[in-house]
A and B are shown apart, each in its own frame.
Chain A
Amino acid sequence: MRNIWIITKKELKGFLYTPIAYIITAFFLLVSGFFFYNIVVWFSGQSARMMQNPYYANQLNLNKMVFESYFNNLAIILMFLLPLLTMRLLSDERRMRTEELLLTSPLKISSIILGKYLAALIIYSLILMLTATHSIFIIIHGNPQIVPLVTAYLGLFLMGAVFIAIGIFASSLTENQIIAAVISFSTILLIWVISWIGEGAGAGWKGILSYLSFFSHFQNMIKGVVDTKDIVYYLSFSFMGIYFAYTVFEFKKWR
């Protein structure tokens, strides 16, 4: 445990000393704020019109009309930005030749990778907390259901954990940060849209492919449904990414 924390601490400092985490945070807040603003403006326009008619007025729902699209937008922004947070984690060690330093120290490979994973997860959680200001704004001025908000944040956290694990794996493959970012972004995108293939396929395939996609699991959580199946899905996906990165390191030794 102590060894994992040593690496986490070093990476957190690295995030603080280099501009990348600040830039990612700033742009994440800018873009998500833009989407949030648009959705809220759209909602208030809709509600002004719908209030005219008592039948429609009952249909107004903050959770459905604001938060569902807002959280889906957040997830898409994450797909673009998290690969940038993780791209240098392992690739930079190789480029700077500090990988040799870490691998000739008594640290285990697993501690190195888990330490880095944890650091990215902490930074990501902080970014996510900052977006909570948007939700708090709605809670103050409106009356949404709270439970779906909490589960949606849990869903975002878990999905981000998977993206970071994929990013770490991509970063273990190359010493070039850009290549790492491209690999992790494309992998996330492909897994995201894999359910599209399922649309046209037979019933059996459709089930499997939509289970594999990030999208369907996240939809449950936005609606306030927490299924162990979804949690297991995200956790096992994260584990797989980390394990693949570990395998890359083990494999490189024997190459």
Chain B
Amino acid sequence: MIEVENLSKRFGNLEAIKDISFSVEKGKIWGFLGPNGAGKTTTMRILTGYLPPSSGTARISGLDVTADPNRVKKKVGYLPEIVPIYPEMTVKEYLRFIAEISGIQRKKINSAVQGVVERAHLKEVYSRLVKNISKGYRQRLGIAQAIIHEPEILILDEPTIGLDPAQIIEIREMIQSFRGNTTIILSSHILPEISQVCDGAVVIKEGQLMANMTRDEWNKNLEIILTSQQGIAEQELKAKFPGIQAVKLIKNSLMITFNDIISNINPLLQYLIRQRVVIKEVKAGLEGLYMNIISTEGSQPGLSGSHQ
């Protein structure tokens, strides 16, 4: 369980994050979305106890990260954006060192190391020097070090950055396999990744929380990109289809939120085609929604607002 209330962090004059509040229930996988420099990493660093917040509170399993950093650090596993490695160590030595500094009892270190080697598929490189292993293995090693002490909370800062498509899928599957007791926060630039892996996501832009939504909420959305506005009347569409909750026309794209997407999507598209509307692209779910949230000026909750 992660609870964040009115969290702010200033670096000198720069406000890295402003008044962010959200919570993630135990066992859920939550995405962190936002442009570069939006404050994702800062928020994650506060949750790990690495940075103290300027104001507001963050609680991990009920423990305040500022008041109780040492107990929080035992409960949190963290993969920073740049995998922190000691190049001159072997994979084995590195994992043993991590196990030791994580406070794992001496007797259990061997089994903990063997456990993560198994779970992160590191057997092939076990006795190689860390500096000589490939980027994909390095990323897996990063995840292995984050989970070695079986944390309740796992925070992954862009775990798939710089990997090839096959490796990305591998890492995704690995993250999926942790689903259960571990609460996971995962930042990414790749929207399909978040929409496939996560149960929900927060969107941060310029240090502010733009949206916090569940998978069900973003799945109700459809973005239809048209070649031009083509005289579409938002109200007319809404009146015609009772299954539509909200319609917005932003530039050339039609943002639609359904009450029930399954039974309404076909009739809507057929209707639009009959009206001789030229459709360029249709994006379902998070992908359509994200650009809309990010391009909104200023602070404003997304289409679905705060769902808690």
A residues whose Cβ falls under 8 Å from a Cβ of B: 3, 6-7, 10, 13-14, 17-18, 96-108, 253-255
Contact = CB atoms under 8 A, between A and B. Distances in A.
B74 A106 contact: yes
Interface string B40-83: 00000100111110000000000000000010011010101010
B50 A96 contact: no
Given A101-B145, A105-B73, A253-B52, A96 B101 contact: no
Interface stretch (B85-93, B203-211, B251-259): B85-93
B51 A98 contact: no
Which secondary structure dominates where chain A touches chain B?
helix
A108 B69 CA distance: 10
* 7 A-B pairs with the lowest CB-CB distances in the bound complex, closest first: A101-B84, A98-B84, A105-B101, A17-B88, A6-B100, A104-B48, A106-B73
Contacts of A97: 80, 82, 84
From A6, A96, A100, residue with most partner B Cβ within 10 Å: A100
Contact of B50 (A17, A104, A107): A104
Contacts of B11: 255
Contact of B70 (A18, A98, A106): A106
Interface residues of B, number: 29
Given A6-B101, A14-B88, A104 B82 contact: no
Contacts of A96: 84-87
B52 A106 contact: no
Contact of A102 (B70, B82, B101): B101
Contacts of B145: 101
A98 B85 contact: yes
A10 B102 CA distance: 14
A255 B13 CA distance: 11
B80 A100 contact: yes
29 contacts: A6-B97, A6-B100, A6-B101, A7-B101, A10-B86, A17-B88, A17-B89, A18-B88, A96-B85, A98-B84, A100-B45, A100-B50, A100-B84, A101-B80, A101-B98, A102-B101, A103-B50, A104-B48, A104-B50, A105-B101, A105-B102, A106-B70, A106-B73, A107-B101, A108-B70, A253-B52, A254-B52, A255-B11, A255-B12
A81 B73 CA distance: 37
Contacts of B49: 104
A9 to B, nearest CB: 8
